[in-house]
Amino acid sequence: MFRGLIFLIIPLVGFSFERGGVKVDVSSSTKNAWIVEFSLETYSIDEKMIDGKTYSVIKIPEFPNLLKRGFPSLPVIAKSLAIPPDAEIGYRVLKIESEKISVNPVIPSKGNLYRNQDPDRIPYTFGKVYNEDTYFPSSIIELGKPYILRDYRGIPFRIYPIRYNGKRREIEVVKRMTVEFYVKGKGLENVKSHFGRVNGWFRPIYKNHFINLEQAKYDTLNEDAGNILVITTQEYYNAILPYVRWKRQKGFYTRIALYPDSTGSGNTNIQNYISNEYYNNGLTFVLLVGDIEDIPSKRSDVGVQADSAADPFYGCVEGNDYYPDLFVGRFSCDDTNQVKTMVYRTIQYEKNPDPTAEWYHMATGVASDEGSPADSERANWLRDTLLASTYTLVDRIYQPNGNATQISSALNEGRSLVNYIGHGDVTYWASVYYDISNINALTNTSKLPAIISVACLNGVFSKECFGEAWLRATNGSYDQPTGAIAIEAASIYQSWVPPTVGQREAVNLLAHFDRHTFGGIVENGNCYMIDVYGNPDGVEIFETWIIFGDPSVQLFTDTPAPLTVSHASTIVVGATSFTVDAGIEGALCALYDSTTNTLIGRAYTDASGSATITFSPIASPGELKLTVTAFNHTPYITNIQVIAPNGPYLSYAGNNIDDSSGNNNGRLNPGETINLTVKATNSGSDPGNGVYGILTSSSSLISITVDSSYYGHIGVNDTVPSLTPYIFSISSDAEDGQQIAFTVVFHDSVDSTWSSDFSLTVYASHLEYISREIDPTGDHRIYPGESNVPLYVTIKNNGGDTGTGINGYISTSDPYLTIEDDSASFPDIPPGDSSTCSTDPFVVSASPSTPEGHQASIILVISNTYGVDTFQFSITVGGPDTLLYEDFEDGMPSNWVVNDGNADGVSWVVGTTPDISTYTPPDYETQYAYYSDDDAGSGAPLSTPGEDFITPAVYSLPYDSLVLSYAYGWREYGTDVGPDYYGVFMREFTNNSWGNWQEIHQYPGPDDISGWDTIRVSAKVSADSIQFMWRYYESYAYWSWACAVDNILLLGYGYSTTGIERKKKSPGLYIKSNLVTNKISLSFGVPLNRNLRLKIYDISGRKVYEKMFKTGTLKTTIDVTGYPAGIYFLKTKGDINLSKRILILK
Provide the pLDDT confidence category of residue 197 given band limits of 50, 70 and 90.
Answer: low
Mean pLDDT of 749-766: 92
Under CATH, which architecture does the 882-1053 domain have? Sandwich (2.60)
pLDDT band at 391 (very low <50, low <70, confident <90, very high): very high
pLDDT band, residue 1144 (cuts 50/70/90): confident
The per-residue DSSP string of 807-852 comes to EEEEE---TTEEEEE-EEEE--B-TT-EEE--SS-EEEEE-TTPPT
> CB neighbours (10 Å) of residue 451?
27
Q: Is 413 exposed, middle or buried (0-12, 13-18, 19+ CB in 10 A)?
A: middle
Q: Is the pLDDT of residue 973 over 70?
A: no
933 or 55, higher pLDDT: 55
Q: Looking at residue 1065, what is its pLDDT? A: 35
pLDDT tier, 1004 (very low <50, low <70, confident <90, very high otherwise): low
| pLDDT, tens only, 136-166 | 998 899 988 888 877 788 898 999 999 999 9
How many other C-beta atoms are found inside a 10 Å radius of the C-beta of residue 523? 28
Strands 789-797 and 834-836, sheet pairing: antiparallel
**Of the candidate ranges 81-90, 280-289, 368-377, 894-903, the one whose mean pLDDT is the lowest:** 894-903
Reported in sequence order, the residue ranges of 669-800 that DSSP labels E, i.e. its strands, are 673-682, 688-696, 702-706, 708-714, 719-721, 726-730, 739-747, 753-761, 767-774, 789-797
The CA distance from 301 to 309, in Å, is: 10
Would you say residue 974 has pLDDT above 60? no
The secondary structure of 498-511 as a DSSP string is: HHHHHHHHHHHHHH
Alpha-carbon gap, residue 979 to 211, rounded angstroms: 42
DSSP 111: -
Angle at 760 between CA 756 and CA 764, to 5 degrees: 170
pLDDT 10s digits, 528-549: 899 889 888 999 999 999 999 9
Listed residue (394, 416, 397) closest to 407, CA to CA: 397
pLDDT at 884: 81
Residue 15, pLDDT score? 30
Confidence of residue 1083 (pLDDT cuts 50, 70, 90): low
User: Could you tell me which residue, 972 or 941, shows the higher pLDDT?
Assistant: 972
pLDDT at 920: 55
Residue 514's pLDDT is: 54
pLDDT at 411 over 70: yes
pLDDT of residue 500: 96
The angle at the Cα of 138, spanning 134 to 140, to the nearest 5 degrees, equals: 125
Which amino acid would we find at residue 213? L
Q: Collect all residues with Cβ–Cβ distance below 8 Å to 406 and sequence separation of at least 6.
A: 395, 397, 432
Distance CA 884, CA 71 (A): 32
CATH number of this structure's domain 2-215: 2.60.40.3800
Q: Are 913 and 952 in contact (CB under 8 A)?
A: no
Residue 1043 has pLDDT above 80, yes or no: no
Band of pLDDT at residue 1050, cut at 50, 70 and 90:
confident
User: Residue 14 half-sphere exposure, CB side, CA atoms within 13 Å?
Assistant: 0
Where residue 194 falls among pLDDT bands split at 50, 70, 90?
low
Report pLDDT for 976.
46
Q: Output the DSSP codes for 523-585.
A: HHHHHHHHHHH-TTTTHHHHHHEEEEE-TTPBP-SSPPBPP--EE-SEEETT--EEEEE-SST
Q: Are 1119 and 1107 in contact (CB under 8 A)?
A: no
CB burial string 694-722: b at 16+ within 10 A, e below: ebebebebbebeeeebebeebeeeeebbb
**What secondary structure letter does DSSP report for 72?**
B
Average pLDDT over residues 498-523: 88
Torsion, Cα 428 429 433 436, to 10 degrees, reads -30
Residues 471, 518: contact at Cβ < 8 Å? no
- The CATH number, out of the four listed (3.30.70.2190, 3.40.50.10490, 2.60.40.10, 1.10.10.60), of the domain defined by the range 767-878: 2.60.40.10
CB 345, CB 448: distance < 8 Å: yes
Question: For the residues 132-136, what does the mean pLDDT come to?
Answer: 92
Backbone angles phi, psi at 1116, to 5 degrees: -160, 170
The topology under which CATH files domain 227-549 is Rossmann fold (3.40.50)
pLDDT of residue 200: 59
Range from 225-229, 516-520, 909-913 that averages highest in pLDDT: 516-520
Residue 1028, pLDDT above cutoff 70: yes
The distance from CA 977 to its chain's CA centroid, rounded to whole angstroms, is 36
Mean of pLDDT values over 775-784: 76
d(CA 534, CA 1012): 14
Q: How much is the mean pLDDT over the chain?
A: 85
87-91, 423-427, 433-437: range with lowest mean pLDDT:
87-91
**Is residue 916 very low, low, confident or very high in pLDDT (cuts 50, 70, 90)?**
very low
d(CA 69, CA 563): 54
Q: Would the pLDDT of 423 be above 50?
A: yes
Helices and strands counted in the chain (H then E): 12, 75
The pLDDT value recorded for residue 925 is 56
How far apart, in whole angstroms, are the C-alpha atoms of residue 516 and residue 560?
Answer: 14
Inform me whether the pLDDT recorded for 1038 exceeds 70: no
Predicted confidence at residue 957, as pLDDT, reads 62
Closest CA to 305 of 458, 489, 491, 460: 491
What average pLDDT does range 605-620 have in this prediction?
91
Reported as a single tens digit per residue, the pLDDT across 1088-1120 is: 767 788 888 876 678 888 888 877 776 778 888
User: Are 160 and 74 within 8 A, CB to CB?
Assistant: yes
**Whole-number pLDDT of residue 848:** 84
- Predicted local confidence at residue 793, as pLDDT: 95
Fold match flag (227-549 vs 1070-1144): no
pLDDT at 702: 96
Instruction: Band the pLDDT of 9: cuts 50, 70, 90.
Output: very low
> Residues 1020-1049: what's their mean pLDDT?
71
- Residue with the bigger pLDDT between 506 and 218: it is 506
Query: What is the C-alpha separation between 919 and 826, in angstroms, rounded?
Result: 47
Q: Which of 14-18, 227-231, 366-370, 469-473 has the lowest mean pLDDT?
A: 14-18
More confident site: 976 or 143: 143
Domains of the chain by residue range: 2-215, 227-549, 566-643, 650-754, 767-878, 882-1053, 1070-1144
Q: Residue 791 above 80 pLDDT?
A: yes
What is the SS3 assignment for 319?
coil
SS3 642: strand
Up-side HSE of residue 407: CA atoms within 13 Å toward CB? Answer: 28
Among 2.40.37.10, 2.60.40.420, 2.60.40.10, 3.20.20.70, what is the CATH number of 650-754? 2.60.40.10
Quick one: average pLDDT of 725-751? Answer: 94
Coil, strand, or helix at residue 879? coil
Are the C-beta atoms of residues 883 and 954 closer than 8 Å to each other? yes
Query: Is the sign of the CA dihedral 363, 367, 369, 373 positive or negative?
Result: negative
Single-letter residue type at 403: N
What is the distance between the alpha carbons of residues 751 and 694, in angstroms, rounded to a whole number?
13
* Lowest pLDDT segment from 161-170, 469-478, 852-861, 916-925: 916-925
Cα(346)–Cα(250) distance, integer angstroms? 12
In words, the CATH class of domain 1070-1144 is mainly beta
Residue 738, pLDDT > 70, answer yes
Under 8 Å between Cβ of 680 and 711: yes
Angle between helices 498-512 and 518-533 (to 10 degrees): 130
Q: What is the pLDDT of residue 1072?
A: 55
Establish how many alpha carbons lie within 13 A of residue 786's alpha carbon, considering only the half-sphere containing its beta carbon.
Answer: 23
State phi, psi for 762 to the nearest 5 degrees: -85, 135
What is the band of 1058 on the pLDDT scale with cuts at 50, 70, 90?
very low
Q: Is residue 558 very low, low, confident or very high in pLDDT (cuts 50, 70, 90)?
A: very high
**CATH class name, domain 566-643:** mainly beta
Distance CA 469, CA 466 (A): 5
What 3-state class would DSSP assign to 774? strand
Q: Which of 737-741, 776-780, 839-843 has the lowest mean pLDDT?
A: 776-780
Residues forming a β-bridge with 1119: 1079
User: Phi first, then psi: what are they for 267, rounded to 5°?
Assistant: -70, -25
Q: pTM to 2 decimals?
A: 0.62
Q: Count the alpha carbons within 13 Å of 630 in the hemisphere toward its beta carbon.
A: 23
What are 50's strand-pairing partners?
Answer: 53
Of 1063, 850, 1029, residue with least CA distance to 929 = 1029
Secondary-structure percent of the chain, ordered helix, strand, coil, rounded to 5: 15, 45, 45
Question: Given pLDDT bands bounded at 50, 70 and 90, which one contains residue 80?
Answer: confident
Q: How far apart are CA 333 and CA 340, in angstroms?
A: 10
**Model confidence at 1085: pLDDT above 70:** no
Average pLDDT over residues 232-239: 98
Rg of the chain's alpha carbons, rounded to an integer? 35
